Amino acid sequence: MPFDPNEWIFEIIAIYAAIISTFTLYYFFDQSRVNLKVTISTGEESGIDKNTVAITVVNTGRKPVTLTVFGIITPEEKKIIVSGRDGKSSAPPLPVRLKEGQVCTGYYSLEENISYLYHYGKTFQIKGFFRDAEKRDYISDPIEVVLPTLPGNVKVLVRPELKGGK
């Protein structure tokens, strides 16, 4: 069979069209999905009180998203929702709608919640999370936190059901 240059050109064009259509489809789906990046940092890293953690979310996608809940995840994977503006723990004004590039930050005080966190030990890992209006959770990578040291004359009461991580 002799070499036909027309067949070779059609094969190259078909391969090129397949590559372009695949890229276009990927780009279309990437633009239509929510893309949030959640980070958690200690107060020392954030430039705030050292006994506070900051949970920050950035909308890195093009699609706007409405956030309804924020909180931390304990070492036993229990989610604690921060609801009010009590003392140093403060939730951002939720619900909030984040457009492309917008940031939202909430704070969780280790000092105010020491009686609950005490049974995890002096040092442990926690994660931060935000939840959107469609009930999807966006979770940060874990960080290691150190509980504040209490004065010698202060005792922490721990409920019996919390001892031993039960």
pLDDT tens for residues 12-39? 888 999 999 988 888 777 667 788 999 9
Q: How confident is the model at residue 41 (pLDDT cuts 50, 70, 90)?
A: very high
Residue 79 CB partners (closer than 8 Å, separation 6+): 71, 72, 73, 129, 137
Q: Average per-residue pLDDT in the chain?
A: 83
Report pLDDT for 47.
75
Length of the chain: 166
Does 158 have pLDDT greater than 60?
no
Cβ count near 121 (within 10 Å): 11
Percent of the chain with pLDDT over 70: 80
CA dist., res. 73 & res. 131, Å (int): 12
Report pLDDT for 164.
52
SS3 156: coil
Report pLDDT for 166.
46
Residue 34 CB partners (closer than 8 Å, separation 6+): 59, 61, 63, 65, 132, 136
